[in-house]
Amino acid sequence: MNKTMLLPVLMRPAPTPATPATRVVATVPPLYEPALVRQLFNYMALTYRWHAILVAGLTGWWRRQLVARLPLAPGQRVVDLMTGTGELWSRLLPRLGPTGRVRAVDFSSSMLHAAARRRTALPAGQQVSLHHADACCSGLASGSADVVVSAFGLKTLAPAAYPALAAEIVRLLVPGGTVALLELTVPASGWRRLVCLHYMQALNCLLQQIGGPLTIHAHLLSYARRFATLDEVAAACRAAGLINVRVEQLTGGIASVLLAEQPAR
């Protein structure tokens, strides 16, 4: 799919939500077609570092909050799904020690190229391996992760794929393992919701005015506006067999982190 096909689809209005009865058989909405999402991130890879600036550096703080909530120990194995350019690694590796490992998965080849450059610059970069694969079907060995993490990739995943993602997490985790999923969310009501939506609108206008390669970042807002909460993801995790599933809000609900555990067997 080329860029001229990509942009019109991303600008379409949000579809009417499907009912539970129809969602099972509904096709994936065009906005969430894997080929389109992959192309979006391929275009975005070279300027992806700008997303932190566009949200006033909050994504870095939210990533630190995610890692701070993990019961990491030296020697553990972490799978980073939808790794992007690997922005979690510098926070994970110091807690994993010299024998820990991070397996990073992404289906965007351009994002993985950018991640490879980041890995080269890290002191412990040799402890990171890159895997070109879909997060819902990573191809990694079952029971190969003590911890599974993902940051800011869920919003571009079709809701119909949440059960597959949850099943893959369950397959990857060892008994007693932990998962933490981080995503932007929209507060349900009140002034925080208004501020969040107005900021997205203002940011969209700014990006359109700037033009050039940064314009592609405006299309992530289409996904962010549709991804209100982690509730459906949490429900999929419970249905897949994870326990102690809970969602913690960050910065007044502008971001949220889902935490859960694999039952000990």
Residue-wise pLDDT tens digits, 85-132: 999 999 999 999 999 999 999 999 999 999 999 999 999 999 999 999
DSSP conformation class of 139: -
Is the Cα torsion angle 229, 232, 236, 242 positive or negative in sign?
positive
- CA-based diameter of the chain, in Å? 55
Average pLDDT (169-184) is: 97
- Report all structural domains of the chain as residue ranges with CATH numbers, in order of start: 45-261 (3.40.50.150)
Q: Distance between CA 234 and CA 248 in Å, rounded?
A: 11
Q: Averaged over 63-89, what is the pLDDT?
A: 96
Task: Give me the phi and psi of 136, to 5 degrees please.
Answer: -85, -10
pLDDT in tens, 162-171: 999 999 999 9
b/e per residue, 192-231, with b = 16+ CB within 10 A? bbeebeeebeebbeebeeeeeebbbbbbbbbbbbbbbbbe
Q: Tokens 């922005």 sit at which residue?
A: 87
DSSP letter at 134 equals B
Question: What does pTM read for this prediction?
Answer: 0.84
